[in-house]
Amino acid sequence: MQKLQTKDPSFRAAWERVCARGSDEDEAPVREAAQRIVEDVRARGDVALLEYTRRFDGWDPGTAAGVALGPDDFRAAFRGLPAEGRRALTLAAKRVTDFHARETDSEVKPRRDAAGATLAQVVRPLARVGLYVPGGTARYPSSVLMTAIPAKVAGVREIFVCSPGVKGTGEMDAWTLAACHVAGVGKLFRVGGAQAVAALAYGTGTIPAVDKICGPGNAYVAAAKRLVFGRVDIDMIAGPSEILVLADVAADAAEVASDLLAQAEHDVRAVSVLVTPSVRLADAALAEVERQLADLPRREIASRSIQERGAVVVAADLAEAVRLADEFAPEHLALHARNAARLVPKLSRAGAVFVGTSTPEAVGDYLAGPSHVLPTAGTARFASPLSVATFRRRMSVLEFTPAALAAVAPAVKALARAEGLEGHWRAVAVRVEKAAPVRRRKAARPARAARRPPPRRPLRGRPGRKGSR
């Protein structure tokens, strides 16, 4: 794990290399292989899908229908879990649902403006989405919850999951199926890789084409998502997991090291960075990383990640550490500092911020509430976490009255002719001219006379009263 100090003349160049971490999904061989698979599945559908499943996953579904699992399978898997597992999935699903149900949409309520036009913006859910959940050699039921539940809350009617079965057998992990049950998934297809992304984008006889593809995957999945974007929407190009721990002198070295390793054990390409103004903490954290690695089950993966991609940065002070954290724009930002909440207003570029030492990043992975699908590789500079908004689209609604159109017509005429688009102006002019006689008649019509009370009649005299005749 390299150690950098901001006071060193060579720091800036070294720091830029740390910040330039990438997901490697666009390496030429990966991109070219993914493109061949995507084009083949688009052309041959289920036939190609079955061939790639036999080739890459090592099992034969027999027919295309053999890759599909549905609600009955999900329910049986859920009931087959131990009680502790059922409680854990149920709690996680409830917390994720409760959080995302509080999201507000970017609707613009209808309002008639000064010209007389009524303008609004409405929000509608996508009709059908496809979620990619990594599988094969690992299980990620949390990824089902963190993608399917926001889609469900958004109002998506059809939610499908693609996830590779166990290599060699095609069996699907019971936890993943149980998560599909609590999240309300419609079907799960036991296919993975670029071929799964292509199937979701273009459709096959078995897998329906969707409107959007979401969820993390390997380099081939990321490359395929990039290729099909435009045919469908995608959430993001997800790279290896990453964390930046921002710690002050009071931080606990063991807790800091545990957060770094929790990311490093994901993948040899995962990125773990510590930024601190304390040389003592930096050295203590490095020692703790080595100590905790000794009995970590995924030691080989975590050790390689730490050695090849990890970094410890010693800043001049906490203010500089905050600036470096924002510059790095991490997927996960853990604040190990006294009064950590006071640092949040100073930060603007991170996928998720974990405030204080009682908020480990791991709790966000499983059941805190916000989705754990977050922008990586510095894309937190412009991208946002997966949310209900990911599964909805906005639609503008415009309504002009004839008078409102006439009021803005001169401006439309000027702009259309400035752009050389005479047809645009004529589309307005024909309506304005049509409505002109009606407006002229209304303008010429005399205003209705104000209603006056009837004239008072003189009282007739009565005998014996003054004024009688």
For 28-237, CATH gives 3.40.50.1980
Number of Cβ within a 10 Å radius of residue 219: 21
Task: Give binding residues as ranges.
Answer: 132, 195, 218, 241, 263, 266, 332, 365, 419, 424
DSSP alpha helix (H) spans, 294-352: 299-309, 318-328
* CA separation, residue 464 to residues 26, 461, 467, 468 (Å): 115, 9, 9, 7
pLDDT tens for each residue of 69-102: 999 999 999 999 999 999 999 999 999 999 999 9
- Convert the pLDDT of each residue in 195-209 to its tens digit: 999 999 999 999 999
State the pTM of this model: 0.88
- Give the total residue count for the chain: 469
What pLDDT shows up at residue 238?
Answer: 86
Per-residue pLDDT at 465: 43
Sign of CA dihedral 314, 362, 257, 306: negative
Stated as kind and residue range, the H or E segment containing 160 is strand 158-162
pLDDT per position as a tens digit, 140-187: 999 999 999 999 999 999 999 999 999 899 999 999 999 999 999 999
Task: Identify the pLDDT of residue 13.
Answer: 95
- Which DSSP string corresponds to 179-213? HHHHHT-SEEE---HHHHHHHHHH--SSSPP-SEE
Residue 138 has pLDDT above 90, yes or no: no
* Confidence (pLDDT) at 435: 86
Question: How far is the C-alpha of 226 from the C-alpha of 237, rounded, in Å?
Answer: 7
Residues of each annotated binding site for Zn(2+): 263, 266, 365, 424
Q: Looking at 181, 242, 255, 332, which residue is catalytic?
A: 332
CA distance readout (Å), 297 to 50, 232, 265: 34, 39, 9
pLDDT exceeds 90 at position 439: no
Feature table: binding site for substrate: 241, 263, 266, 332, 365, 419, 424
Question: What torsion, rounded to 10 degrees, do the Cα atoms 199, 205, 208, 213 define?
Answer: 0
pLDDT tens digit sequence for 269-327: 999 999 999 999 999 999 999 999 999 999 999 999 999 999 999 999 999 999 999 99
Q: How confident is the model at residue 466 (pLDDT cuts 50, 70, 90)?
A: very low
456 or 197: which leads in pLDDT: 197
Whether residue 336 lies in the annotated active site = no
Active site (annotated) includes residue 332: yes
Among the options 265, 288, 331, 361, which is catalytic?
331
pLDDT-based confidence at residue 448 (cuts at 50, 70, 90)? low
> Mean pLDDT, to the nearest integer, of 348-371?
96
418 pLDDT above the threshold of 70: yes
Q: 468: pLDDT confidence band, cut at 50, 70 and 90?
A: very low
More confident of the two residues 62 and 447: 62
Give residue 194's pLDDT band: very low, low, confident or very high (50, 70, 90).
Answer: very high
Would you state the pLDDT for residue 436? 83
pLDDT for residue 21 is more than 60: yes
pLDDT of residue 26: 55
Per-residue pLDDT at 451: 56
Mean pLDDT, all residues of the chain: 92
Task: Check pLDDT > 90 for residue 458.
Answer: no
Q: What angle do CA 101, 107, 113 make, to 5 degrees?
A: 160
Of 104-108, 279-283, 329-333, 404-408, minimum mean pLDDT range: 104-108
pLDDT of residue 437: 79
Residue 52 pLDDT: 95
The CATH number of the structural domain formed by 2-10+240-368 is 3.40.50.1980
> Given this model, what pLDDT does residue 460 score?
53
